[in-house]
């Protein structure tokens, strides 16, 4: 387990927002929204549902997964469910607390505090827990297949590919588990994990037989999928500074792939484009972030540690535009939605920005709770989840 966590900016500021104590805590208050804002696009909400208490106070950026027309979501109070992605109708839902689902102890025992995922592929769903377990179940009905124990809490989505369930733990280890049995095939153990880090882990990216991850030491690491051996690593942040806080260098956002180029970024670091096969850096641009990236068209989209939204040219790293009207609203990672970029904020608002110039063109409100997880875009539908497990689907009307 990580021995000590820094208070992640998003977690602490969400708490402060509820207490209205920004000034007292010497924290910049969120930029007020323009009350005269007039949307230039029409966004329609298709449906809304919920799953348990969501990530609640865990500080985890849980988000749903959509596979083959089904949305899967889980919560830290032991609920997991499948919903029709088109209508939001519940297909199945399991509750470990109410039904003793995993068969341990009595029916009142909280068997699993879900925190990582869920991930899904084909007929399998996998989810990690705060107490260091991974559970696999049938995608069709949620019935348990197997359980595996790992070295620490799992707070990011497992990846299911190539007959493996690949899981990242909060102590820096990555496990390759047999998708059929849960048996451990391999484990990758980082040589050094900082004692002090932000609360978060970036999602694993698996492509062409390689697992890519951003580390808490500010590295982009490539691991072989078949045996867990490290292929290469590239520095995203140096971890330099006078204090432990200054030296925080977590790469907590998702790594993204476009063609053969990988894009990654880190806190107190830089946005870096890397050639995937060789690990050779192509360009870098100063950027401090703890959220995920996205790429679409000729642009890489990012949100910095002050919640300014950027678009960078993906071939050179040149700045295309910057949007600072949402500064200090502690945004989620950006998600490309066709011609638009979507972000959620700490007051439950969802903002659509024009992908070409960054102008805010649409706004909806899911709830009054913070949206920490990067929205999920499938086709022309955007799925958003807040910290209390509220989930909704939106579409830009054409």
Q: What pLDDT does residue 3 have?
A: 37
CB 95 within 8 A of CB 78: yes
Q: What pLDDT does residue 398 have?
A: 82
Q: How far apart are alpha carbons 174 and 282 in whole angstroms? A: 27
**Cα distances (angstroms) measured from residue 4 to each of 14, 239, 251, 334, 381:** 20, 16, 17, 28, 38
- Enumerate residue ranges in the chain where pLDDT < 70: 1-26, 97-111, 191-201, 217, 237-253
Kindly state the tokens that stand for 151: 């070295």
Kindly state the tokens that stand for 139: 């995608």
Q: What pLDDT does residue 194 have?
A: 55
Q: What pLDDT does residue 265 have?
A: 87
pLDDT tens profile 87-140: 999 999 998 853 344 444 444 444 578 998 899 998 999 999 999 999 999 999
Q: What pLDDT does residue 203 have?
A: 83
Q: What is the DSSP letter of 153?
A: -
Q: Which residue is associated with the tokens 């329609």?
A: 44
pLDDT tens profile 184-199: 999 998 756 655 445 5
Which residues are within 8 A (CB) of 20 and not within 5 positions of it... i.e. 6 or more apart? none
CB atoms within 10 A of CB 32: 8
User: Residue 58 in 3-state DSSP?
Assistant: helix
Q: How far apart are alpha carbons 345 and 384 in whole angstroms? A: 11
CB 297 within 8 A of CB 356: no
pTM for this entry: 0.89
Length of the chain, please?
Answer: 398
Q: How far apart are alpha carbons 132 and 115 in whole angstroms? A: 10
User: Residue 88 in 3-state DSSP?
Assistant: coil
Buried b (16+ CB within 10 A) or exposed e, 254-282: bbbbbeebbbbbbbbbbbbbbebeebeee
Q: What pLDDT does residue 303 have?
A: 96
Q: What are phi and psi of 377, to 5 degrees?
A: -115, 125
Q: What are phi and psi of 11, to 5 degrees?
A: -65, -50
Q: What pLDDT does residue 239 have?
A: 52
CB 252 within 8 A of CB 259: no
Q: How far apart are alpha carbons 116 and 55 in whole angstroms? A: 10
DSSP per-residue string spanning 145-156: EEEEE-SS---S
Q: What pLDDT does residue 251 have?
A: 54
CB atoms within 10 A of CB 93: 14
Q: What pLDDT does residue 55 have?
A: 86
Q: What pLDDT does residue 180 have?
A: 97
Q: What pLDDT does residue 219 have?
A: 80
Q: How far apart are alpha carbons 343 and 349 in whole angstroms? A: 8
């Amino acid at each position: 387990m990580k021995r000590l966590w820094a208070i992640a900016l998003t977690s602490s500021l969400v708490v402060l927002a509820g207490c209205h104590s920004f000034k007292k805590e010497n924290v910049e208050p969120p930029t007020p929204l323009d009350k005269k804002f007039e949307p230039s696009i029409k966004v329609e909400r298709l449906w809304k549902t919920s799953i348990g208490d969501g990530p609640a106070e865990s500080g985890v950026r849980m988000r749903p997964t959509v596979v083959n027309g089904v949305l899967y979501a889980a919560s830290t109070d032991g609920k997991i469910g499948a919903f029709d992605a088109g209508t939001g109708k519940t297909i199945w839902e399991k509750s470990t607390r109410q039904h003793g689902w995993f068969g341990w102890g009595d029916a009142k025992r909280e068997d699993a505090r879900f925190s990582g995922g869920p991930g899904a592929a084909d007929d399998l769903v996998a989810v990690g827990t705060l107490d260091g377990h991974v559970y696999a179940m049938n995608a069709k009905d949620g019935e348990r297949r197997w359980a595996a124990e790992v070295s620490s809490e799992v707070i990011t989505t497992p990846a299911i590919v190539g007959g493996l369930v690949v899981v990242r733990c909060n102590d820096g280890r990555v496990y390759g588990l047999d998708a059929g049995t849960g048996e451990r095939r391999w484990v990758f153990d980082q040589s050094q994990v900082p004692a002090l880090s932000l609360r978060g882990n970036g999602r694993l990216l698996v492509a062409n037989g390689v697992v890519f991850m951003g580390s808490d030491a500010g590295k982009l690491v490539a691991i072989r999928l078949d045996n867990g051996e490290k292929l290469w690593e590239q520095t995203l942040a140096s971890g330099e500074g006078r204090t432990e806080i200054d030296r925080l260098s977590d790469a907590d956002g998702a790594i993204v792939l476009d063609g053969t180029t990988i894009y990654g970024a880190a806190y107190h670091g830089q946005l870096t484009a890397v050639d995937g096969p060789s690990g050779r850096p192509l360009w870098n641009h100063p950027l401090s972030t703890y959220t995920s990236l996205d790429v679409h068209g000729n642009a890489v989209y990012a949100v910095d540690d002050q919640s300014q939204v950027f678009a960078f040219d993906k071939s050179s790293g040149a700045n295309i535009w910057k949007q600072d009207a949402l500064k200090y609203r502690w945004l989620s990672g950006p998600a490309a939605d066709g011609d638009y970029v979507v972000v959620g904020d700490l007051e439950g608002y969802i903002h659509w920005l024009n992908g070409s110039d960054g102008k805010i063109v649409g706004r909806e409100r899911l709830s009054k709770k913070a949206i920490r997880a990067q929205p999920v875009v499938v086709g022309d539908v955007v799925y958003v989840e807040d910290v209390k497990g509220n989930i909704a689907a939106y579409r830009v009307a054409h």
